[in-house]
Chain A
Amino acid sequence: MIRASADSFTGDAMPRASAAGKLRVENLGVAFQREGATLPVLDDVNLSVRDGEFVCLLGPSGCGKSTLLNAMAGFLQPTSGQVLVDGEVVRGPDPRRIFVFQERGVFPWLTVAGNIGFGLGKLSREERAKRVQHYVQMVGLQGFEKSYPHELSGGMKQRVEVARALAVNPDVLFLDEPFGALDSITRMVMRSELLRIWEAERKTILFVTHDIDEAVQLADRVVVISARPGRIQQIVDVDLQHPRDISSPRYLKLRDGILSQIGLAHRI
């Protein structure tokens, strides 16, 4: 039942469609060993993501969505199954696929420019400075190039991390609740900034969140994950054009559909 619903959306059942996938997760299972007991975290996850697609992984805390993202990025070896990018099995982290942590990943010992240029060691000095300046502008941090992270707000640090990731020109971005630590107004701003950047650069984005609104506002598809062990419960196509009207009936219908799918009533 679960497999069937996942397959019907991803088209995994048809080899032609899966071959076109940028990133594929095949029968992925992850189990942790805790005090001698085996704790299954993810069970038989199958997913295919198209090139340039924006996919949100949505689920309650502890459902294994971060674990799934870490396995896709190569930080974690799956217990069973595999992850493929461009048909190649993922065996570790790779600069072609950058993981954006919450703003915690910014290096405190480097300036904004130093952080953004971190992955550009192979370029010449001028080339690097040009690239850094381009992404400083893209995330709107002009004038802060020489600032250290502790002088920046949470939202600005998050911009630094996104810029650092984009600067190495990756195919895929993994974002693990990137705006979770920000206040709600900054979060809204960062969402539209991210969409603007995504529309300009067309990276494949996998975005973990526990915020239903965030998922429906951002994603082409929302992958709803159930808890313990984490399984794909449903994949929802968000057939809304950007910029999205978040009070339109279609938006609300999609959001409410996911709400009830997760088992939450519409009232508090």
Chain B
Amino acid sequence: MVATDIQNAKLVYERPESLADVATHYCPGCTHGTAHRLVAEVLDEMGIREHSIGVASVGCSVFSYNYFDMDFVQAAHGRAPAMATGVKRVFPDRTVFTYQGDGDLASIGMAEIMHAAARGENITVIFINNAIYGMTGGQMAPTTLPGMKTTSSPRGRDVETQGYPIRMSEILATLDGVSYVVRRSLHNPAEIRKSKKAIRYAFETQQRGLGFSMVELLSSCPTNWGMTPLDSLTFIEDKMVPAFPLGDYKVIDAVKSMKWKEG
């Protein structure tokens, strides 16, 4: 009777085509996997996987090209928006996106992200903000919270000598070239659903040629935060969300009025 049940069963959840059938190297509890899946689901739903070109950055997501099933190039640290510009200008009809962490985007790559946004490059940026350098083992990032302990701020980030975190979505929202910039979080199912919707908006923005789009995703790093996966999600909610408020920082009217068939 079991076999009959399976035959009649309806498949409700499967690996997106845009996600390669391999295990990731991400640590248990890290939300990179969630972010990857959301991007992959959106590309599948829009039917643009094979027309997409990804630009991997440097950091934990350096190997993201192993996990997305589409053409990919690997950028130098911080330079993904410049490299994406090069690809997009040659192939304007392809979907080009970068996937960058906070050290990559908001520290070493500050000039490249600002100017790609200011030019209104018709690309999509997925910005993973987990307030720490993951791959190099937990150093202070440009988004590390005041007082937060890292291996390079062992007594906690001292704002007197180490300055304050940078809020990229707010900064980018001031630029005329930006069409869509929002901050979402990956710390619970409701926020994850909102994140996916934002990612869809970002890619739809690019598909319609409306200009620069970015989704900032508050993300966890249990390993380098020294927390359990569960505690790290609580940390996002309790500590990161107040410092990096969730919301829509810039959505131009043409993006607001976009319509598409859910499928």
User: Do A and B interact with each other, yes or no?
Assistant: no
